[in-house]
Structures are given as structure tokens and as C-alpha cells.
Chains A and B, each alone.
Chain A
């Protein structure tokens, strides 16, 4: 939508900023206007800091040469950390997924960011993802396991299947994040494929050593 349609009566610089916000994902015309008028009311120094932060991101942030995660140098902090397990790579769709997995604090291996998933209806194929770079990382034989952590939807599953077919012949173990019922959900509302996966991946309840009823 052109800026004149979003804010027909706004001054040109205001309209331009509204349009810029409107281009961001998830920002509709109303939100774009609200954010713009919030910035107009913002003190000068805060606005300059905000603008400098945007420019800084564009000037200083690059993709890690190894894992394609967002980094400040050619090697990200995770790839440069010698304490981390280099025999395992967790493959994720987007850089934000690295943050999510790191939040769980149970994984100490490396990552690889695909920057998307195979999405035929959107014209995204395997060659549009960072799969060639992933293959390069497996060539020296250090990696023993690739954990595919793409989203548990159809395109994420298809990408996982593709990765499995791609690197399976190299002798590297390919695993997939477990799927099933999320904590706090109701079985009544679960869809058939989630329930099927949950049943297939069911686990034995471990015997407790103490407090077992007679």
C-alpha cells in the first residue's frame, strides 16, 4: 500500500516513516501510524539512539561463515566456543530458533541455520537454503550427529526428510526433535498427527526407587 493511502494527510517525512514501518512483518497500517507518532514524540537523543541501532545492525551484523547464524564477525560466538561439542550440529530454520534452543540450556553442540524451509508453493527449494554449507561442514568427518530441529509442520518435516536423504549416505546419524503433546495441553484438542507421533514416541514411565505404594 503506498504511503499516500496509509496516511493521506500526513506530512511527507511522516508518511515515509509510516510506510517504512508498514513494510515490517506483522505491522499493519494502524500499528505503523502508532509507532511513527510515538517516535515523533520521542526525545531527540532517544530517537538518534534508535536510528543508530538500526544502522549499527545493518553495518556490523554479518552471517557466520560456518553456521550462517547472525554474528558480529565471520565466526559467531557459538562456533568460536571451543568448550562446545563439535561432533553435534543442530539444524534450525531461523536465527531466532538458535536463541530458543539455547534458552533450554540442555544442548551444548553447534548449530546450522538454514534460513528457511523447503516451501514448494512459495517457490523455495533446497538450493535456496544453506544446505550446501551444511554438507561442507560434514566433509571432514568430525560431526557424528545432525539434529534436525525444523518446525513440526509439513514444510519443516519435508525439509527434515530432505536433509535425511541428503546426508544419510554420508554415514552421519540424523535425528529429529521428538514430537508429541505440549505441556499443559488437552488431548481432546490434539490433532491426529500430533497424537499419532505422541503414541509412536511414547516412553516408559521410570520406576521410582522411593515412595512406591506397597
Chain B
């Protein structure tokens, strides 16, 4: 005899990483939670102005929510905001970085897969990003720590081709092999290797063992920053098997001169100025 399974209801913390509309006034919410991994649920009537949930269930908000499990989309209710990260809402640059962070958290999470360290990391980085004057390094810290937590920590002390300990010098980075490659061990015909200067390697090693406060206190040059970005992103793309959608907007906001207008301008417009 089969007994009817009683619906499970639990309360959890979560960070809203994706929203989409459903029907007349409902909203599908995707949350990253510490115990249940990715949770997708419906917030009934959340788009109506008088909704008790609508204001809480916005992107990049840390909320407490009651989840009623069903076979498909869960039901969400009794929502309250734990941290609204207002600093990410009033600044386009911080918003674009917050979007990148949340998309990565979603891509590295699975449904019903508890991952408390990833959740704590997400909260730490969002809190830091809200106020830090070094958001670039907060992003690099997050990328490095996410790779480490997922078992894809880059090899930074030995050559991934020859296995020999690396001398303090400029080397190359292979995302396919997951670490640094000695210049002499460079495989013939290999073109996907990225340059890694000695300073960039030092920064990568520093990021692999620093905490977020130490990481954001570290200043780096433009060249090192660019190399760090390319190396960490290449490694993330390799792990995820594709790029992240939010990268393009983050790069656009970051590279706009004085955060000015990038739309409708052509090369000839710029050169005439």
C-alpha cells in the first residue's frame, strides 16, 4: 500500500539570483540556499503592488522564506528581508558585479545540493561588494574561492605539464590543464595558453590563501588585473563549459569612460571628439 506523501514545509535563508514572471501576477524565484542548494518557487501575486512578498523577493536580496515543497515548483510564503544590499542597488557598477557573482553562484550550485561554504562565500562577497572601494579584487577573490570550493583550484606551484616546481619567473597558464605551465614545457602547437607574469602569479597565490578583507586591501596594477581576469575567467569557462551572460554588461560598465555613454557611439564619433 502506498501512502500519500505529506508536503514538506521548511524555512530557509536564501539569496535571490533569478526572477521571472508567471501568469497574471505571480513570479518564479530562484534562490541559492545553504542546505537545499538551488530552490525554485512561485511567489503568488508577488507582482501586485500590495503584495507582502514582492518587495522582499527582488534580485540580490538575502531573505528568509518559507518553502512548501511540491513535485514541480515549490510554493514560497512568509518572506522577510535579512539584508537588502542597498549599496548594490544605487550603483550601476556594483549592480553589474553583483549580477556576475549571483550568476556564478547559480551555475556552481545544484538543486538539493547543500553547500554552506558557497552560501557563506556569496553573502561575504555581496556584503563586501556593497561597500568596498576595491570591487575588482573582491570579484577575483570570489572567482578563486569558488574554484577552490568546487574542487577546481588552479595549480600554482608546479608546472601542470612537467610536474617540476616553478621558478619565480613569468610563466603561462593553461585553463585546460588547470594550472601554470613552465615556459620550457610549453607543448608544441599549444595556443590557448595565457600569459602569467611573476606579479600575477604572486597575486593568484595570495588570493588562494587570503581572506576577503586581505584580498580587498590588496592593490594591483592594471596589467596584473587584466591577466588575473583572463586567467580566472578562462578557468571558470572551462569548468562551466561556457561563459557567463552577465560578463558582457559588467565589462561594458567597467570600461565606459567615466561610466559615460557607450550607446550609439561609433569609432568615428569617438575620434571626432
Measured CB to CB, the residues of A under 8 A from B are 25-26, 118, 120-123, 125-127, 131-132, 135-136, 153-155, 157-158, 161-162, 165-166, 169, 182-186, 189-194, 196
Contacts and interface: CB of A to CB of B under 8 A. Distances in A.
Contact of B49 (A126, A127, A182, A193): A182
Interface stretch (B134-142, B171-179, B242-250): B242-250
Given A120-B103, A121-B99, A182-B49, A126 B89 contact: no
B55 A161 contact: no
Q: Which of B90, B250, B264 has the most CB of A within 10 A?
A: B264
**Category for how many chain B residues contact A:** 35 or more
B58 interface: yes
B59 A154 contact: yes
B89 A121 contact: no
Contacts of A121: 17-18, 59, 99, 102-103, 106, 245-246
Contacts of A155: 59
B246 A120 contact: yes
Contact of A123 (B21, B52, B81, B248): B248
Contacts, number: 99
B172 to A, nearest CB: 31
B151 interface: no
A125 B248 contact: yes
A158 B92 contact: yes
A161 B23 contact: no
14 contacts: A118-B249, A120-B248, A125-B248, A125-B249, A126-B249, A126-B252, A132-B263, A154-B60, A155-B59, A162-B92, A182-B49, A185-B49, A193-B55, A193-B84
A35 to B, nearest CB: 14
A132 B92 contact: no
B110 to A, nearest CB: 17
B113 interface: no
A193 B50 CA distance: 15
Nearest to A123: B245
Interface in B236-273: 245-246, 248-250, 252, 259-264
A180 to B, nearest CB: 11
Contacts of A182: 49-50
Interface string B68-100: 000000000000010010101111100110011
Nearest to B102: A121
A193 B61 CA distance: 10
B100 A120 contact: yes
A120 B96 contact: yes
A145 to B, nearest CB: 19
B184 interface: no
A166 B261 contact: yes
A154 B263 contact: no
Given A132-B264, A191-B58, A192-B86, 10 more contacts: A25-B21, A120-B249, A131-B263, A153-B58, A155-B59, A165-B92, A182-B50, A185-B52, A193-B58, A193-B81
A113 B19 CA distance: 21
A62 to B, nearest CB: 23
